[in-house]
Every structure is written in structure tokens, then in C-alpha cells.
Structure 1
Amino acid sequence: MRIVGGSLRGLKLAELGEGDLAAHLRPTTDRVRESIFNLLVNGSHGNPVPGARVLDLFAGTGALGLEALSRGAARVAFVDEGTRARALIRANVERARAMGATDLWRRDATRLGQNRGAGFTLVFLDPPYGQGRGEAAIASALAGGWIAPGAMIVWEESRPPVVPAPLVQIDQRRYGDSIVTLARMPDA
């Protein structure tokens, strides 16, 4: 796995191999990550990446959040409760020399609690496939004030997710076994 664009383009990330199914680690492939960022950057909805405050839920290896940093995001908060995932994220943040622009939280993404800071303007959501945890995490993020007005949500799943109000689905694409859904939080 490598960062596919931006200032860190070509940076090799820590190896996971084919994934760690026991830990529910299934990294987004370079090709799908590149497609996601092409949708974000070139879409008719405006490029949400430059200056973004990014929330990477079920962060896994941290590749999506680091890709956003590479492309101009201001800060990334990685959320994962898995020990193996957090070790990979720490290793990848160190490789990217991004310690000053990242936070790593050991937390269940489906029970985020109340956000004590500013809302996030770009949210990546890559839950274990087929378990309904994405819907629970989005409900938790909305209830806790984690999602800023006008924020973009990028949701990767094995099936089309149920996008809850007030979020509005704006695009959906299939890449192999993955379905990527883009949704937007209405402006205040």
C-alpha cells in the first residue's frame, strides 16, 4: 500500500498483507482510494479536502486519513478500537512524519459520545462489511455533534448503506466488492 497522490505520493505504508480478518482489518486498496479521491477532487460538489478537519472512523491502517493529509487536509483524527489497527496507524503516521497533524483515539466508532471540539468537515467511514456498524457509527457521530455543517461523508461498505437524515446522498459507485457512497451534511 502506498499514498497515491499529493505531497506524500509514493510513501509506502506499513504492511498488512491480505488483511487481518480476525481484527476486521481490510485496507482500502490503492485503486479504490485513488477512485475515492478522484470523486472528491473532481466531483461537482467541490473539493472538500484542502484545509479539511478529517474524522477517519474504523481507521484500520489510517491510509484514507493520511491520503487526505497528503492532499492538503489540515488535521486528521483516527478512531479505531483495535490494538493491531492502532499500531499500524501509529507506524504509518510516523512514516508520514505527521504526528503534529494527527490524533489517534482508542474508541468504539459506534459510541463516540459528545464531541468537545469543532465538528469535522470530511468523514471517512470504512466499517467491517455487512455488520450494520456503519449506520450505528453515523448515528453516533450525528448525535454527538462530530459532523460539521456542510461536511462530506465518504462511506465504504459491501452493500448500499442506509444514509440517515439529515445527511443527503450525492453519489454512489461500485469498485469490485466495495460500494462507496458520498453524502453531505446540509449547511447550517
Structure 2
Amino acid sequence: MSVSPVLQSLRTATADIHTAIETEADVERRLRDLAERPAMVGRFLVLHRAVEDAVAPWRAAFEADGYEPDRRSPLILAGLEALGAPTPAREPSVALPTYGEAIGWVYVAEGSMLGGRIMQKGMVRDGIPLTGLEFLDPWGDETGSRWRAFMRTMESACASGRATQDDVLKGGRDAFGVAFRLLV
């Protein structure tokens, strides 16, 4: 399957910060460690609430394109409660001036589900308890089809002029910046 030009540009534009998050945040190790897990789940709650709040004004545009951005924060909050951990404060809301920037933010959140699914499978394989981690793979076998639907939405929005590639790239970089700040 060929990679679309918008996706390839987005991957290139965010590669450095994506790699920095993977190496510096050490997410999987911190989620596997039962002592560190509550704090890490709390960080994910703050991140996903920030994305959901930023994207909220653009939900109708996504839905018009046949896609509904994920709302994982209730599932993450339930996980935090199962861990007996306090709920962290919300981040100040970010105003996204364009649909393209909102697409970039959703890219970061949706992409995290692909990684979450892999982490969860590894933990199951290794016998690690999953208390509080249901949010890692909320869509199960539907994760791939959701990702493809998001890719179609992104491509369609850029092809039609409802979004620009530059705005998508800016949104992706900005959202990864927030993820880095919150997860590292």
C-alpha cells in the first residue's frame, strides 16, 4: 500500500519529536511498572483531554467528512479511577484556527492507538496486569479500519481545499509538542 503525500510529509515533519517522545518518555516501561503506572495514565488523561478540547470546535467538519475523532478521555479517567489515582488538572484549552490544524492534532491522538495496541499485546504476552490500561486498545480489531478512515478524511480534506497540508503539518508538530511536554 502506498503512503499518501500528506501522510509522508506529516511523518517527516514530526519524525524528530515523535522519536524524542518514544525514547525520552519511555512510555511502555512506565506503564508496565505498577508504581509508575498511575502517574503515566494521568499524563495520558491530560494529553487526550487537551486534544479533545482543541478539536471540539471542528467535530462537525470531521463528521461531515465521515469521521468521528476518538474520545478516549472517559476510558482513561475510568482507568485512573481503577488505579485509585487522583484526577490531574486539565490543560488550558488551545484554539485551533483551521481544520487542517485540527487534523494534525487528531493524527497524534489516533496514531497513539496504534502504538497502544502494540504495547498492550506485549503486556498480555508477558503476563503484565492491565488494570487501568483499557484505553491503550479501545477499538480492538477495528483500530486499523479507524486509522484508514482517518487517512481518507485527511487526504480528502487536503485534496478538496478544506484543509492545507501546511496547516496539517503545523497541527501535528504542535500536538506532538504538547505530547512531549506532558509525557516526558
TM-score by length of 1: 0.25
Q: Which has the higher helix share?
A: 2
> Highest Rg: 1 or 2?
2
Q: Which is richer in strand?
A: 1
